[in-house]
Amino acid sequence: MDTFLHWLQHETSGLLVLCAVGIAVLLLMIIRFRVEPFIALIVSGLLIALAAGLSVEDIVGTAQKSSESLLESGFAGILGHITAIVGLGTILGSVLEASGGAQLLTRKLLGAFGERRAPLAMGLSGLVFGIPVFFDIGIFVLAPLVYVVARQGGRSILLYCLPLVAGLSMTHAFLPPHPGPVVAAGLLGVDLGWIILMGLACGLPAFAVSGLLFPLWIGKRIELPVPEDVLAAADEAARKNEAEGRPEPKLATVALIIGLPMVLILGATFGSITLPKGSAPLSVLTFLGNPTVALTIAVLLAFWLLGTRRGMTGKELSELTGHSLRPLGMILLVVGAGGFFGKVLAETGVGEALAGSLQSTGLPLLVSAYVISSGLRIAQGSATVAIVTTGGIVAPLLHAGDHSQAQLALIAVAIAAGSIIASHVNDGGFWIISRYFGIPVKDMLKSWTVLETILSVVGFGMALLLSALLP
């Protein structure tokens, strides 16, 4: 027994077996027993830590020093980085949605591009409005517009809804302030400005192929009408918006609020490259470009320009804020538990053992990160779980090399790309799209599942190409 425990806790092969068993337990609990992912991550992390021989004091601490335990420090490390960013981003998206900014943006795009290019307008709507709002909220808000456009166009609803969901999915996977890229940035220690730059460089080509070219092809082969019940819902939503009687926001205002935080964050990133350290301009850019500060400024502007100036009371804004933050709890719990799981892998030596094993295969770190994330995504369905688990596995591997911020950002993009591959029946987003656009399961597998796979593969391919070109 002692020999077995020594092999399990100290030998590379034993540590790899321990890692494999821990991930198998994690997937078994999520897939077979339907345990909430954050509970499954905690249980798996605790089992790995105990099996690896870590002391109880190291795992959970003592009554006097619990804050130094793996459990608390694992949660605190990642949540301290992302909580304010994701929370502020959620509030910003909620205010934009409640003000009618999304509908305004889509109508303006449709007017600019015309009926023939309506799929392009829907894709750009998803792309722009997807920056500040969650994937599912974007669908809820913009779906009625898809119904109307599809009814007017008289063609398959796939031609109009797929570009929209591709734009929403791209921003959700590759750009802050969405949880996935923010979590990946925190785990890998990369500046969010670089995440934005590399996310756009990899995500936009992926969106062009999956969200513009693929829908044109599949929309001609699967003819799906707009369901009558959703048409009625769209008409009811339009009547409700007219009844409120509030003035419509201006397009410039909506564009300012969506773009301001990204401009401020990128300003800090470019300032750190071009300006001398310690200079006053760099200090100003660094302060304003801190993601929490930038998003706070955008939220306050949104409260004023889209709320108070349009007749919303402080009570209404408070209720809107509180309502928007309610779905955030489970996301943060999953992320925190994933931080603990990753901390355990690092402390037990599993991460170093896995690093050595992956290096011996000759696979580049970028490829390994994508493969691990893709496998976890296909197995259990959650993009967030795939990112936090892969980030915890990959982070210890980074100590062996000298990686630039650009290279770290590309690894984060590879992880994010893997986390969206092959969406199928174990993914909540699969069923949301199926329900809202009346798409049967077999057609979802032919359209949405393929779209997500194209988005993932092209995004990863761009990351691989850029990693070969950048220092």
Q: Which amino acid is at 269?
A: T
Residues 6 or more apart from 471 whose CB is under 8 A from it?
Answer: 404, 406, 407
> What local confidence, expressed as pLDDT, does residue 46 receive?
93
Q: Which residue has the tokens 């992912």?
A: 37
Residue 242 pLDDT greater than 60, yes or no? no
Phi and psi at 404, nearest 5°, equal -75, 165
Residue extents of the structural domains in the chain: 2-56+78-469
> What local confidence, expressed as pLDDT, does residue 142 receive?
83
> What local confidence, expressed as pLDDT, does residue 364 receive?
87
> Taking Cα atoms as reference points, which of 253, 268, 136 lies closest to residue 192?
268
Residue 266 pLDDT greater than 70, yes or no? yes
DSSP letter string, 289-331: TSHHHHHHHHHHHHIIIIIGGGT--HHHHHHHHHHHHTTHHHH
Could you read off the pLDDT of 431-445 as tens digits, one per residue?
A: 889 888 889 889 999
Runs of H (alpha helix) within 219-250: 228-244
How many other C-beta atoms lie within 10 A of the C-beta of residue 216? Answer: 14
44 close to 341: Cβ distance less than 8 angstroms: yes
415 close to 390: Cβ distance less than 8 angstroms: yes
The C-alpha atoms of residue 406 and residue 116 are separated, in whole angstroms, by 39
The C-alpha atoms of residue 204 and residue 166 are separated, in whole angstroms, by 11
Lowest mean pLDDT among 166-170, 188-192, 204-208, 326-330: 326-330
Q: What percent of the chain has pLDDT over 70?
A: 91
pLDDT category at 329 given cuts 50, 70, 90 is confident
pLDDT category at 468 given cuts 50, 70, 90 is very high
Q: Which amino acid is at 271?
A: G
pLDDT category at 1 given cuts 50, 70, 90 is low
Residues 6 or more apart from 285 whose CB is under 8 A from it?
Answer: 267, 268, 271, 275
pLDDT category at 456 given cuts 50, 70, 90 is very high
> Mean pLDDT score of the chain, rounded to an integer?
86
Lowest mean pLDDT among 210-224, 341-355, 365-379: 341-355
Could you read off the pLDDT of 419-431 as tens digits, one per residue?
A: 999 998 778 889 8
> What local confidence, expressed as pLDDT, does residue 412 receive?
96
For the record, the structure tokens of 28 come out as: 């078994």
Residue 312 pLDDT greater than 90, yes or no? no
Residues 6 or more apart from 24 whose CB is under 8 A from it?
Answer: none
Name the range with the highest mean pLDDT among 81-85, 131-135, 335-339, 462-466: 462-466
Q: Which amino acid is at 185?
A: A
Q: Residues 439-465: what's their mean pLDDT?
A: 95
Secondary structure of 197-211 in the HEC alphabet?
A: HHHHHHHHHHHHHHH
pLDDT category at 237 given cuts 50, 70, 90 is very low
Phi-psi region of 334 (alpha: psi -120 to 50; beta: other; left: phi over 0): alpha
pLDDT category at 230 given cuts 50, 70, 90 is low
> What local confidence, expressed as pLDDT, does residue 24 receive?
87
Rounded alpha-carbon distances, angstroms, from residue 246 to 100, 321, 430: 10, 19, 35
- pTM of the entire predicted model: 0.86
Name the range with the highest mean pLDDT among 127-141, 266-280, 337-351: 266-280
Comparing 144 with 412, which gets the higher pLDDT? Answer: 412
The C-alpha atoms of residue 148 and residue 144 are separated, in whole angstroms, by 6
Could you read off the pLDDT of 36-45 as tens digits, one per residue?
A: 888 988 999 9
Residue 182 pLDDT greater than 90, yes or no? yes
182 close to 85: Cβ distance less than 8 angstroms: yes
Lowest mean pLDDT among 65-69, 120-124, 242-246, 313-317: 242-246
For the record, the structure tokens of 256 come out as: 């300012």
> What local confidence, expressed as pLDDT, does residue 435 receive?
82
Instruction: Say what angle helices 383-394 and 365-380 make with each other, to 10 degrees.
Output: 150
> What local confidence, expressed as pLDDT, does residue 350 receive?
75
Residues 6 or more apart from 298 whose CB is under 8 A from it?
Answer: 88, 92, 257, 260, 261
> What local confidence, expressed as pLDDT, does residue 216 receive?
94
Q: Residues 181-191: what's their mean pLDDT?
A: 92
Q: State the first-to-last Cα distance of the chain, in angstroms, to the nearest integer.
A: 49
> What local confidence, expressed as pLDDT, does residue 64 receive?
59
Rounded alpha-carbon distances, angstroms, from residue 123 to 39, 306, 402, 419: 36, 24, 38, 21
423 close to 136: Cβ distance less than 8 angstroms: no
For the record, the structure tokens of 213 come out as: 């070219």
183 close to 338: Cβ distance less than 8 angstroms: yes
Q: What percent of the chain has pLDDT over 90?
A: 40
For the record, the structure tokens of 236 come out as: 């009811």
